[in-house]
Amino acid sequence: MNKKSKKQSRKQSRKQSRKQNKKQSKSLDNYCQVNEVSFNNYKTSINNDTIAPNGPIISLLDENKKQKSFIHNIPASNVFNMVIEIPKGCTRKMEMSVDKMYNPIIQDTKKGKLRTVPASQFENQVSKIKDMFIPNTQYKYKDIYKYRNNNNFSGYSLFSYGAIPGTFEDHKEMENLLNYIENKDDIMRLGNNTTFRGDGDPLDIFLINDSKEKSRKIGEVVKVEILGIFPMIDDGEIDWKVISQPCHLNERKVKNKILSDKELEMYRLWFQHYKDKLDENNNLKSGGVIVLSNLGMGKALKVINHCIGSYHHIINSNDNYEMGMPNYNLRKTFKEL
């Protein structure tokens, strides 16, 4: 096959892949449920105003129909609350806004475009992927992506995803991961750089072992118990990923709380590769994310408590510039509630 034929073949392959992904994303969009939900004395409200550049806006209302904040007003308890931003199977990158009053949940944008999680587009195109941080290590494609369309879920295909209200990963704080990490392979992945800033958002959390995974809705609040945590470095910032499962009244229905190494690696690889893309030559291009091993429940609780402390420091500070956010107006809006 000559160069011209190869180029045409690659172009046609990319075109077919885009069509397939668009069709798949459309058929699975019902998992991005934005129906109103109620819990305790709160309920969500949906604004589908066509002038909203980020699509639907999910807001929180109290029993008097007054607007409240997902970040500030979900009550604290001994059991942790999780706000569902992205139900399992949803391809939209939804998140609580820290720069808008009352912190509604909206679809994130990048370079002026609405963000989505890529559908599994690498099948039959990539056989092996090198680990760019551990020499002489390769993962087979099937080991990384075989779960991407499990049970017809795409996008966030393994879990529901969200954040813990009343927490914050402070952008002004520098955190040394050697205070948490002991695994030699993880230390080698970090190299000489072990200190990172927070990403300037509430603490991320994902939900597994969930019997209601097919009916979760954006803005829903779930009481969860903590199982572990992954340290994730993205764009030079620490972006913790807390592992959780729903609190169950009937303990006999609870799955084994000790996650197997196989399960943990499955979740780790999902975060490690969910930003990967194909370049113009159909070669896999890394998303530049580093995801380290699970640190367990004890260190997860340590990180959560640290982020609760950071949140209260920001809220109680009289100096807006003490807030761990890079933009003054964003900091000011975050506090003025």
Say what the pLDDT of residue 227 is: 93
Which string of b and e fits 293-331 if b means at least 16 CB within 10 Å?
Answer: bbbbbebbeebbebbbebbebbeeeeeeeebbbeeeeeb
The one-letter amino acid at 241: K
Q: Is the pLDDT reported for residue 332 higher than 50? A: yes
Note whether residue 126 is domain-resident.
yes
Structure tokens at 273: 């590769």
Say which residue, 13 or 144, is predicted with more confidence.
Answer: 13
Tell me if 134 is assigned to some domain: yes
Integer CA distances (angstroms), 239 to 117, 144, 201, 263, in order: 17, 21, 9, 20
Cβ proximity of 58 and 42 under 8 Å? no
Global pTM reads: 0.77
Task: Decide which of 96 and 112 is more confident.
Answer: 96
- Count of domains observed in the chain: 1
pLDDT at residue 7 greater than cutoff 70? no
**Does 10 fall in a domain?**
no
The predicted structure's pLDDT at residue 210? 92
What are the tens digits of pLDDT across the range 108-166?
A: 888 888 888 764 444 444 444 444 444 444 444 444 554 444 444 567 888 999 999 99
Residue 78, in any domain of the structure: yes
CATH code of residue 214: 3.90.80.10
Residue 5 lies in a domain: no
Sheet containing 290-291: order of strands: 174-176, 195-198, 237-238, 232-234, 290-291
Reported as a pLDDT band with limits 50, 70 and 90, residue 333 is low
Cα–Cα distance for residue pair 313/326, rounded to 1 Å? 16
- Give residue-wise pLDDT tens across range 302-317: 999 999 999 888 877 7
pLDDT of residue 243: 96
Kindly state whether residue 88 falls inside one of the protein's structural domains.
yes
HEC-encoded secondary structure of 16-30: HHHHHHHHHHHHCHH
| pLDDT for residue 325 | 45
Q: What pLDDT shows up at residue 261? A: 84
The answer to whether residues 99 and 334 touch, using CB atoms and an 8 Å cutoff, is yes
d(CA 244, CA 207): 5
* Structural domain span for residue 304: 23-335
**Between 43 and 190, the higher pLDDT residue:** 190
pLDDT attached to residue 109: 86
Averaged pLDDT, 83-99: 90
Report the Cα–Cα distance between both ends of the chain, in Å, rounded.
Answer: 64
On the question of pLDDT at 23 being above 90, the answer is: no
> Is 1 inside any structural domain?
no
Assigned domain for 7 exists = no
pLDDT interval class at 65 (50, 70, 90): confident
Convert the pLDDT of each residue in 215-268 to its tens digit. Answer: 899 999 999 999 999 999 998 999 999 999 998 745 445 454 567 888 888 888
pLDDT the model gives residue 76: 62
pLDDT of residue 187: 92
Q: Average per-residue pLDDT in the chain?
A: 76
